[in-house]
Structure 1
């Protein structure tokens, strides 16, 4: 019914949903929403700010979105060092400011996600252009302005400049009460649920022939402070003495490991295999077969809670609730502590993950269709 109403009302006006994104995690979590929009016959486009460029085409192909219309606000190399942040941010800001009247004349709503610079830029552009801003994954908080930094500040700014908040559950919704103007839509779960469903399909997860663990470290506070990075690497080396580790390297992490001389040390370690980043579907299957995972990624925490894989989060704080107290725990970069934790981790039983409940992406797409109808 919504599909028919939309086509009757908005087809001639060519109103379009704009997804403004810049990172792999944002693309992964919004891809199921774009697919759900396509199923309703809604027009979609992507403005790409390009913090991450590595394997983006592979991700689009994984989700069947390789034909999605997209326009880049940034044309330079991947932002994998502090020195590239300022020129990247300035180019994105200048490009969007110069062209926002032309670009946004055709948009009925701007959809953004999460807590990055792209999220804030989307909210600012929507407010400046008078176009509704819809924020996916709204309401997550750490309640610590400096940790994670600058993500917590980015979220607060985005809350203030948004019009619609798609929040994943009651806890996140309660964090938005002070923003009275927001239209709050409870998606029940995070859209990562749909991404994992698509990645695994109906496959039964069989245990690997040899046990292994996965490591993924990339956050600013972990890789750009040399003392902490060295402590983390020492902890990972200690873990590799117990279980072989497959270390998936972000480009920024690889660059920092090279600069600090730690990359060669890891390459020489018999228990550590260094892997380049890969497509999302392949990565999820890698995670699903792991004995445990060491990570500092919020999205990984969410994915692994669905997969029921023990997760050691190398952070002091997390704004995510998924898995805490069951599959996930915060850990310090301490080799002794890590050895003790790994020895007591439960063994995951091989089974098909039970990922139930309504589709958050479908809930969002249905609502976006209504937003477009109102804009006609």
Structure 2
């Protein structure tokens, strides 16, 4: 059966999460895959021309970026079917996180097929009126990518290059990995996070705090200003995927405001403190390996110190919990697309 699929994404995280699915779809008998990368902004206005040229049967978009919403809207106007990967994540507040909650909600309104990572995501879609037959619980493709990369790094004995700042990290010392870039934390939020990290660095000089710093000036400012010069705080450039997976796998615990890391860290068995007040991924909280701590310095310091000081508390969170899939989401999505195509071609 012939099926022409066009995949659209605009950011590096989207590309990473869609890569396992692209690898599966590329080997379809009778299927054609076309990939369109918008660079989030540069090519967005050319989407319509791309659809006109390719004439896809279905457009696949991912998650909650502005590219995903615009790509879905452009496909809708051309009456092209839309498949939404990582569908149904919700906080219930269109302004938190902003603009991601609006992007994924609006994309869900337009989509024909919804590939939900969890049962909770499916339930969100059902409450919004999506038809049960149009929803497939598949897990998340980010877990496919993560487990493949982790296994590759381990089996190959991969290590950071000699000129990488990560090569200087001491193997015998505990490592706390930090990431932060959410818009809702700009300003006071990031200042408070950095104040907490500075206090922790002073209290635990034997612990390595590694922070790949997002390039946004509103992140760089407080991070460099409050953490620069601290001996055991390593402020490094944003890392490519192999280096970042290596860091997560190496970490003793992780602090983040990232959505994707909320799925990745528990799948690796890493205790995770989330630097946000709400999460669109409530399933991660059920396993006891993830805690919301917000941006209050006292809470961040107390919860991090507990994990660094209390071996029993650490063991309780240091275990694998992966509600977002087993590494085979891409195959499940491909199978659902084949079933959809068989129906669509006969209508």
Secondary structure, counterpart of 1:43 in structure 2 = strand
The residue that corresponds to 1:238 in the other structure is 199
Question: Does structure 2 conserve the Cα–Cα contact (< 8 Å) formed by 1:36 and 1:365?
Answer: yes
Question: Does structure 2 conserve the Cα–Cα contact (< 8 Å) formed by 1:111 and 1:136?
Answer: yes
Per chain length, whose mean CA-contact separation is higher, i.e. which structure has more relative contact order (CA < 8 Å, sep 6+)?
1
Secondary structure, counterpart of 2:212 in structure 1 = strand
**How many residues of Structure 1 are paired with residues of Structure 2 in the alignment?**
318
Secondary structure, counterpart of 1:44 in structure 2 = strand
CA distance in 1, matches of 2:284, 2:208: 24
Question: Does structure 1 conserve the Cα–Cα contact (< 8 Å) formed by 2:266 and 2:319?
Answer: no
Secondary structure, counterpart of 1:147 in structure 2 = coil
The residue that corresponds to 1:28 in the other structure is 16
The residue that corresponds to 1:217 in the other structure is 180
Q: 1:151 aligns with which of 100, 116, 119?
A: 100
Displacement after TM superposition at 1:295 (Å): 0.5
Q: 1:95 aligns with which of 46, 52, 59?
A: 46
**Judging changes above 3 Å, is the alpha-carbon distance between structure 1 residues 247 and 357 closer, same or farther for their aligned structure 2 residues?**
closer
Displacement after TM superposition at 1:179 (Å): 2.7
TM-score between both structures, scaled by the size of structure 1: 0.77
CA distance in 1, matches of 2:343, 2:212: 45
1:192 aligns with 2:180: no
Displacement after TM superposition at 1:375 (Å): 5.3
Displacement after TM superposition at 1:96 (Å): 2.6
The residue that corresponds to 1:49 in the other structure is 38
Residue deviations 1:7-58 (CA, integer Å, cap 9, x gap): xxx2xxxx5311111122211211111111123243222221213xxxxxxx
**Judging changes above 3 Å, is the alpha-carbon distance between structure 1 residues 123 and 265 closer, same or farther for their aligned structure 2 residues?**
same
The residue that corresponds to 1:59 in the other structure is none
The residue that corresponds to 2:190 in the other structure is 229
Displacement after TM superposition at 1:297 (Å): 0.4
The residue that corresponds to 1:62 in the other structure is none
Secondary structure, counterpart of 2:273 in structure 1 = strand
CA distance in 1, matches of 2:222, 2:247: 27
Give the RMSD, CA atoms, in angstroms: 2.8
**Judging changes above 3 Å, is the alpha-carbon distance between structure 1 residues 261 and 176 closer, same or farther for their aligned structure 2 residues?**
closer
Deviates more, 1:357-366 or 1:173-182: 173-182
1:272 aligns with 2:260: no
1:332 aligns with 2:320: no
Displacement after TM superposition at 1:315 (Å): 0.7
CA distance in 2, matches of 1:285, 1:187: 29
What runs of 5+ residues in structure 2 fail to find an aligned partner? 158-169, 308-312
CA distance in 2, matches of 1:181, 1:354: 29
Question: Does structure 2 conserve the Cα–Cα contact (< 8 Å) formed by 1:21 and 1:48?
Answer: yes
Question: Does structure 1 conserve the Cα–Cα contact (< 8 Å) formed by 2:24 and 2:331?
Answer: yes
Displacement after TM superposition at 1:318 (Å): 0.5
Secondary structure, counterpart of 1:268 in structure 2 = coil
Question: Does structure 2 conserve the Cα–Cα contact (< 8 Å) formed by 1:136 and 1:165?
Answer: yes
Question: Does structure 2 conserve the Cα–Cα contact (< 8 Å) formed by 1:108 and 1:375?
Answer: no
What runs of 5+ residues in structure 1 fail to find an aligned partner? 1-5, 52-72, 76-91
**Judging changes above 3 Å, is the alpha-carbon distance between structure 1 residues 264 and 302 closer, same or farther for their aligned structure 2 residues?**
same
**Judging changes above 3 Å, is the alpha-carbon distance between structure 1 residues 358 and 297 closer, same or farther for their aligned structure 2 residues?**
closer
CA distance in 2, matches of 1:314, 1:295: 6
The equivalences for 1:107-118 within 5 A come to 107-118=56-67
CA distance in 1, matches of 2:189, 2:327: 41
